[in-house]
Amino acid sequence: MATYRYFSNKEALIQHLCVQLYTSFTVRMYAEMSTVSAPWDKIRIFIKALLDFATAYPDHYSLIFLVRHSDKEVFEEREKLGREFLKGIRKIVADLLPESTSISVIDSRMRQALCVLHGTAALLIAHPNAYRLSRNIAQKDAEAAIASLMAPI
């Protein structure tokens, strides 16, 4: 009952936890990225951080990245956090592609890279044995797929 003094309902509590976990994840990941300058090194850190988080905390990963909340305020807050996060990822993707690459291609490559990464994380969490997937294989597969997406067009 004490929890409901601070949160109006279960959804509000879950949203609070998601924001805290997401913020903690992104702060740690961007701090680690700031130690390197090469865009590809930053992408590797991103891949490793996301897969590490997914395997260490699969339920948290699902809550943060896969569960869509029906509450409009919750949805808007999560969208805002996501937009801020994606600004940094978009910049790294842009740095990996030729300077003349259009914004639409940069955005497309970023979405494709996120599909690869989230798909790999989902397989690693839910069906690692069926796909003969270990943490290391998942990281190598994701790096190879993302590298091919970032190859000059």
What per-residue confidence (pLDDT) applies to 14? Answer: 76
Tell me whether residue 57 is in a domain.
yes
What per-residue confidence (pLDDT) applies to 25? Answer: 86
pTM for the full predicted model: 0.86
Tell me whether residue 85 is in a domain.
yes
Tell me whether residue 50 is in a domain.
yes
Average pLDDT across the chain, whole number:
88
**What's the token pair of residue 43?**
């992408």
**Do you know the residue count of the chain?**
153
Question: Taking a C-beta distance cutoff of 8 angstroms, is the pair 128, 51 a contact?
Answer: no
Q: Is pLDDT at 83 greater than 80 in this prediction?
A: yes
How far lies 42's CA from each of 5, 53, 54, 88, in Å? 41, 16, 18, 10
| Confidence grade of residue 123 (pLDDT, cut at 50, 70, 90) | very high
What per-residue confidence (pLDDT) applies to 1? Answer: 55
Tell me whether residue 1 is in a domain.
no
Which CATH number fits the domain that encloses residue 72? Answer: 1.10.357.10
Domain of 47, in residue numbers: 6-149
Tell me whether residue 118 is in a domain.
yes
pLDDT in tens, 30-47: 999 999 999 999 999 999
Total of domains in the chain: 1
Q: Is pLDDT at 74 greater than 80 in this prediction?
A: no
Tell me whether residue 17 is in a domain.
yes
How far lies 64's CA from each of 24, 58, 74, 104, in Å? 12, 10, 12, 26
pLDDT in tens, 8-28: 777 777 777 877 888 888 899
Distance CA 103, CA 136 (A): 32
Residue with tokens 């997406």: 149
